[in-house]
Amino acid sequence: MNTPHDDFDSKQSRRILNSFLVSDDVSPAQQLALLRLVVDAVPGAILVHDVEGQVLFFNEGACELLGYSSEEMLGLPRFGWIGPESMAGAAARLERLLREGRADFISTALRKDGRTTPTDVLTRRLDTAEGPLVVSVIRDVSERVKAQQELEFLAYHDSLTGLSNRVFFEERLRLAIADARRHKDILGLAYLDLDRFKPVNDRYGHDVGDSVLITLSSRLVAIVREQDIVARLGGDEFVILLPRMASTAEFQVLGQRLLDAIRQPIDVGTASVSITATIGFALFDHALDDARSLVVKADVAMYRAKRDPARPWLEWDAGMGLSFG
């Protein structure tokens, strides 16, 4: 909040600046030099260009944003500061600006080194005797975009392992079901529960337990296909969404590969721990299943497998029903 003293200083500064600019004792060259200093002091980039995209004027902020020298700025290709992903809408934005006199939008700036920077752009039409010009104030919003991406990641990913969380899994499951129905694809689900994990926590502590979960999560991701989704539901429970399967025979191959990877010893300081797992598989029935029933089927199959140590994984069948009894 400004104090009266701040307001006085601000008003006084404006009067001094205005007096300097209109004073007969100040040459045009001095006035232009001051204006140049003012423009360069503005935070962010300022670009003035014609409707063909030729740069006519810029400030130091533009050089800093784009990574060009002053000499290079004037030699930029037409609209050469706009990122490739933003060029598609450039013509429509220019048309709106010329029609309405202003256009504010989100874009990307293309740097000299080829990198792109997310930006907010405020543009105004400047009418001159030679035709309209475009004045753009461009602000680097990389930090804001990064913060938004981090929040989105946390909303959809497990904070410990980095795997997808329950929210993301449920969203992708709904999409996968819709896709399977549309294309008559085979959709599968694996429900995985770790065995002998609690004793690790009890003996070595939760920090070691967390380390084990992180290691196992990496192993799971390394086993599955790129289109598969590995999610941690919580604790030591995981699910793997398996869209567009070639056949149900993949369950047997995947089950063995998952178990082999999980059973590999994990070093925890000077000791080594071994974890096992039980897996339930379920196949999506296009006529009968929804998202909930598919998860329940895989969970029931996993529960039944836990009762038979000789069968660490099972595929659901109708004889199991949909209860855990």
DSSP class per residue in 267-295: EETTEEE--EEEEEEEE--TTT--HHHHH
Residue 80 is encoded by which pair of tokens? 């050469």
**b/e burial code for range 209-245 (CB count within 10 A of at least 16 → b):** bebbbbbbbebbbebbeeebbbbbbeebebbbbbbeb
Taking only the tens of pLDDT, the chain with its 325 residues reads: 444 334 434 555 555 555 555 555 667 677 677 777 888 888 899 999 999 999 999 999 999 999 999 999 999 999 999 999 999 999 999 999 999 999 999 999 999 999 999 999 999 999 999 999 999 999 999 999 999 988 888 899 999 999 999 999 999 999 999 999 999 999 999 999 999 899 998 888 989 999 999 999 999 999 999 999 999 999 999 999 999 999 989 999 999 999 999 999 999 888 889 999 999 999 999 999 999 999 999 999 999 999 988 889 999 999 888 776 5
Starting at the edge strand that comes first in sequence, how are the strands of the sheet with 186-195 ordered?
229-234, 237-245, 186-195, 276-283, 313-315
Burial environment of residue 157 by CB neighbours within 10 A (0 to 12, 13 to 18, 19 or more) = middle
**In whole angstroms, how far apart are CA 113 and each of 45, 68, 84, 117, 233?**
17, 9, 14, 11, 42
pTM above 0.85, yes or no: no
**In whole angstroms, how far apart are CA 319 and each of 190, 233, 300, 304?**
18, 26, 11, 11
Residues constituting the chain? 325
Report all structural domains of the chain as residue ranges with CATH numbers, in order of start: 42-145 (3.30.450.20), 157-320 (3.30.70.270)
DSSP class per residue in 203-250: HH-HHHHHHHHHHHHHHHHHHS-TT-EEEEEETTEEEEEEEEES-TTH
pLDDT of residue 314: 94
pLDDT of residue 123: 96
Residue 96 is encoded by which pair of tokens? 């709106």
Tokens 């934005």, located at residue = 93
